[in-house]
Chain A
């Protein structure tokens, strides 16, 4: 099984990136071979729709599971359509999250935000 985790520093000892679509990299961890590899998040510099593109990057890796602190609605549509399961990251290192996931202690992520696209900067309506 392949687990994908958004990260900013390529190390299992670092914490998980606070964003999904605009994290610097993704860790791909293979639970069978216990191998880890890191890929750049090409979606990071997108003008818009970074979540969608990041989800595309992830599904193209053939991942089964995503562990992330948060995820936008649009990315969720892509991930659900491709049967990737999304779990809520907890505080602590990447390794800790993987361990907790393998012990079945992580919860499925069910609270998805509506995204940050559109309407940014309106004076009084979106404080």
Chain B
């Protein structure tokens, strides 16, 4: 099964949930799609065994051959090409590497060159595969790296726990695109609840089965995220307490489930609930 862990707001506990779920699962890969700031590998203390670069294709125009017909600039819906002073200007950071300009050019003046935009690191930690995408500094979009991570994920038979980027924009959509189930992590703040609402709308838009983990829950205190879930009928998977012990383990760069029996049980139970939900969703689907 492929489980995407997302939250609107950063710092609500996506990495905590994704990494610890992977760690209590016997046969799992943890995949960090938060390519702007991948840090789950720190908790796993995994040594990188292999790193592979990720490339995108960028058009190059042969100015000698180009007759200035502008078929390419008119075709490109992202406006990554402009016709200026008799030649084509390419804006590589806007280009989505669709290759359309190469196909459409009547004079065959456009070829493609590759540009490295990031890398994928492979490591292991106690039988868990730890796969992290990293975007290079100065690159405008992490989408190509997430796409490549999906190629890796599609090729593995293991259970996959995907640590998504924060927010609800393109990179999040790309990260949860083929997931069978989404775990939304929420914290009991008004800001966090507003962002929960955004990802909640997103999973509904994508028609993904989902459940909510209420992280940092305070007993007998008002929890706007919980209130939202109850109002909207969003299923709550579990509540994790706002616990200093938990925070200390995490802050020391350790996995909770490897340091605390109590939380190991808690995450095993969460994993079982998710497995039930995934099976249930698959049964409805078939």
Chain B associates with chain A: yes
Show the binding face of A for B, using Cβ within 8 Å. Answer: 43, 46-50, 52-53, 55-56, 59, 74, 77-78, 81-82, 117-125
Residue of B nearest to A118 (CB): B140
Question: Pick the contact of A125 from B89, B93, B140, B166 — CB < 8 Å?
Answer: B166
Chain B residues near A122 (CB-CB < 8 A): 10, 36, 165-167, 169, 171
Give the Cβ gap from A47 to chain B, nearest Cβ, in Å: 6
Q: Let me know if A124 and B11 touch, CB within 8 A.
A: yes
Sampled A-B contacts (21; CB under 8 Å): A43-B79, A47-B77, A48-B78, A49-B78, A49-B79, A49-B94, A55-B82, A56-B73, A56-B79, A56-B82, A56-B84, A74-B94, A78-B84, A81-B84, A81-B85, A117-B94, A118-B141, A119-B171, A122-B10, A122-B166, A125-B10
Q: Which of B79, B83, B89, B168 has the most chain A CB atoms closer than 10 A to its own CB? A: B79
B residues contacting A by CB (< 8 A) are 7-11, 36-37, 73, 76-80, 82-85, 89, 91, 93-94, 140-141, 165-169, 171, 195, 198
* A residues in contact with B169, CB < 8 Å: 119-122
User: How many Å lie between the Cα of A23 and that of B9 in the bound state?
Assistant: 32
A125 CB to closest chain B CB (Å) equals 7
Partner of A123, one of B85, B94, B195: B195
Shortest Cβ-Cβ A-B pairs, 3 listed = A49-B79, A124-B10, A123-B166
Contact present for B79 and A46 (CB under 8 Å): yes
Q: A123, B8: Cβ atoms under 8 Å?
A: yes
B91 touches A49 (CB 8 A): yes
Q: A49-B94, A77-B89, A82-B85 are in contact. Are A121 and B79 (CB under 8 A)?
A: no
Q: Which residues of B contact A118 (CB under 8 A)?
A: 93, 140-141
Q: In the bound complex, what is the Cα–Cα distance between A78 and B84 (angstroms)?
A: 7
Q: Judge whether B7 and A46 touch: CB under 8 Å.
A: no
Q: CB-nearest residue of chain B relative to A60?
A: B83
* Interface residue from B7, B10, B36, B140 paired with A117 (Cβ < 8 Å): B140
Contacts of A53 in B (CB 8 A): 79, 82
* B167 pairs with A52, CB closer than 8 A: no
Tell me, rounded to whole Å, the shortest Cβ–Cβ distance linking A30 to chain B.
Answer: 22
Residue with the highest number of chain A CB atoms closer than 10 Å, among B84, B141, B168: B84
Closest to B198 in A: A121
Among residues of A, the one whose C-beta sits closest to the C-beta of B141 is A118
Query: Is the beta-carbon distance between A48 and B165 smaller than 8 angstroms?
Result: no
A47-B78, A55-B82, A78-B82 given as contacts; is B91 within 8 A of A121 (CB)? no
Residue of A nearest to B166 (CB): A123
* B148 CB, nearest partner CB in chain A, Å: 18
Q: Which residue of B lies closest to A55 (CB)?
A: B82
A55 to B82, alpha carbons, bound, how many Å? 9
Q: Which residues does chain B contribute within 8 Å of A81, judged by CB atoms?
A: 84-85, 89
Q: Considering the complex, give the chain B residue whose CB is closest to the CB of A59.
A: B84
Given A49-B78, A81-B84, A81-B85, CB of A124 within 8 Å of CB of B94: no
Asked if residues A46 and B166 are in contact (CB atoms below 8 Å), the reply is no
Bound-complex Cα distance A36 to B114 (A):
46
Measured between beta carbons, the chain B residues less than 8 angstroms from A52 are 79-80, 82, 91, 94
